[in-house]
Structure 1
Amino acid sequence: MASRSFTEEDLSCPVCCDIFINPVLLSCSHSFCSSCIQRVWENKTSFKECPVCRKTSSNDCPPVNLALKNLCESFQHERGQKSSSEGETVCSVHNEKLKLFCLDDQQPVCLVCRDSRKHTNHRFCPVDEAIADKKEILKASLESLQEELRISVNREQNLCKTAEEIKFHAQSTETQIKEEFEELHQFLHDEEASRITALREEEEKRSQMMKEKIEETIKQISSFTITIRDIEEQMKAEDVSFLQNFKATLQRDQYIPESDPSPSVAITFTDHLTNLKVNVLQKMQDNVGEREKTEIFI
């Protein structure tokens, strides 16, 4: 609101004649753009003086004129809003149409900017030519980006395909592993059943042998018992009948079969456990080798 009471001339730098940019305040109360006063003072080695009143400045780095800076920014903001509402792109400093492009500063400028000190010895071209040139640059950049996009899309598709193939082959390998172990489990199960069957058959054979020996021993016990009882009865006789029957009794004792004091059948089944794991592993290896040979021939 305060900027409405000032004109563009009031807010222009005495050096560059443009709206102040970062204005600084000298001790003599004159203000200049910070870059402008520094450019004026570049060749001043002994003392720094004001370009307007020629008074020597007491400060090589003058302070920023905040009040003037705020006024300039407010003025440019209001003029920019006005230009935008009118639908025209104009210079924010001189409110003129931007017809030229400064090749040194790489920005569009108006005819007044071209003649200002700020753009002294700068190169210019029409805005239309600058737009065409910049569009060619962007076109080349766009084509490069589009090519990179195409390559990236193809790469993404190939990566996705590879990821699916990895998943497929992993699942297929898992299935094969399960099948291989299922065969191993079945082999071990069959081998276990076979060995247990052999153990049961041997157990039955030994048990039958023991049964026969027990029956034979029971018969011997019965025979011994009867013979002992008869001898005891004969020994009770006190008359001549003892002597008459003595020879027959003695011969009867001699015909009793002798018993086997120690069974010949082994009690344990260590043969079924000897090198069990080694034998089974060897048999498993031979079985796998035969199966692989068969698959090769097939």
Structure 2
Amino acid sequence: MPFKASLAELQVEASCPICLEYLRDPVTTDCGHNFCGSCIHQCWEDLQDTLPCPVCLHHCPDRNLKRNMQLGHMTGIVKQLLARRSKRKLREEKALCEQHSQALALFCEKDLELLCPQCKVSPGHRGHPLTPIEQAAAGHRKKLKSYIEPLQKQVEDTEKVLKMQISNLFELRRKVENRKHKLYSDFEQFKHFLGKEQSAVHIRLLTEENHVQEKIIESKNQMLDHHSTLRSLLSEITEKCLQTDLDLLTGIESIHNTYEHLQPPPAFSYELKKEVCSLPPQYFGLQKMISTFQVDLTLDPETAHHTLLISQDRKTATFQKMKPSHAYNPQAFTSYPAVLSCEGFEAGRHFWQVEVTGTGEWSLGVCKESFPRNALLSPSPNNGCWQIQFWTRTSGTEDSGNLRQIGIFLDYELGEVSFYSLSNRSYLYTFNEFFTEKLMPYFSIGPSSESLTISIVKDES
């Protein structure tokens, strides 16, 4: 009876409070009650602004109710359960052979069918193994139970795979969003650079145009003066030729001198300088450098100064003003807040990048493995440390004075340590040196910093 009562209660839950039939295309109101979509809209047909719930009279804001697909599926399942129960009850009540109208008492193990005594002697089941229903049911019940554990295992394995696939889907979406954001940032930087380059080219062209224009005007004025002189001399000579001999010879020397010393002004010619849009090489080479030589670094807690808190994944160092512990570690920095990576390099090319948040002074670079950890001298190339310093003024903005994304490229054989700002993909500085021993990536935070954090990150593009 408990099953019957539960089934009846489930049947009530799957029914519409308005038409009292099974829910058709169910919808759910804000107050949580469920109705047939057609029933609730018919109920509200003549209403305007006030739309009460037919069960609790709660006011519904509008007629656009959300379809409850899950409840619709559940209603279908309830219908199937009731139909199956009715068929089963009918079979149990009758339990008769449909062909011979005799009680079913045997089970054919070959054809897996219930038989009556008359079916037993029929040609279709002659020679087949037949067992009483109770015995057959016990054997098949045992066999079905043996399926349960393997099926449960398969269900668990399938759920794990499904969970992994869902996780992979979310991870894919996250990576795509990150890639889209990064590409958008790159395009914005690229557009900004192109705008500046276009303005600079326009200014250079305008300056050259003004300069050439002045030269052309000056040449034109000189040519006009020369033209005027020629016309005047031509008029004077023509008039002389018509005069008497005495008048013609009077002042003839001046005309000869003028004619013989005529010098046309040089014609001005020009050629505009060729202007081209010159993109910086990092727009083409930096991303290839990252994808080809990027390494995955971790911080070495054994080398960390006592004021640096190293994260569990060894990717982040946070400055905190802490008292030194009594335990002495000979590998740790003692004179200022710094830490090395676990990985070092004795050859090859390597790229890594860092993000910094907080306010204060910080520096990045590489140092020799033998670099003294307790030296009072400032780190410099002279004592085996090649690093550049930065100062983050604010923690909320990124501008030219607040470089928070830095890339470091080490070319051991070439003897170069180069630094790039990844915020605007610009080149910062290069150290040139002849390296002779193992180099360790170096991270340092100034003692005057305020909760500054340095994180090793990896480009996923």
Structure (1 or 2) with the greater helix fraction = 1
Structure (1 or 2) with the greater strand fraction = 2
Query: Scaled by the length of structure 1, what TM-score is found?
Result: 0.48
Query: Scaled by the length of structure 2, what TM-score is found?
Result: 0.34
